[in-house]
Amino acid sequence: MIGHYQLRIGNALIDLVPVQGKLGSLGGAAPGAEGRNVDHICFRVLPWNGEAILAELQEYGIEAEIVSRYGAEGDGPSIYLSDPEGNALELKGPPWAPIPTS
């Protein structure tokens, strides 16, 4: 075993490496609780199926919810969760459809 987790979302992949393991120790010390250098990492998920994403996360014991947040393309659905080291991750869907005006 190489000592990391792989997070696959659509065609994106990120390797999550715990700092306590052999592979993680090669990168030096982790930032402290007050010394993070990244607020969160956002992944755009297409096609978006929020309920299916929540169900998949729940299979791994991850409780989350869909919230509406502003992003690069406007307000839309987001799911926030944390990786094994406590870093914040956002799974972002497309913007909400515009409300028709009459």
Predicted confidence at residue 99, as pLDDT, reads 82
pLDDT tens-digit readout, 44-69: 899 999 999 999 999 999 999 999 99
Residue, of 38 and 74, whose pLDDT is higher: 74
Helix and strand numbers (H, E) in the chain are 2, 6
User: How many CB atoms neighbour CB 54 within 10 A?
Assistant: 17
40-44 vs 66-71, strand pairing mode: unpaired
Average pLDDT over residues 12-24: 75
Of the listed ranges 2-11, 72-81, 85-94, the one predicted with least confidence: 2-11
Q: How far is it, in rounded angstroms, from Cα 61 to Cα 55?
A: 10
Q: Which domains does the chain have, with CATH numbers?
A: 38-97 (3.10.180.10)
Q: How far is it, in rounded angstroms, from Cα 4 to Cα 25?
A: 12
Percent of the chain with pLDDT over 70: 86
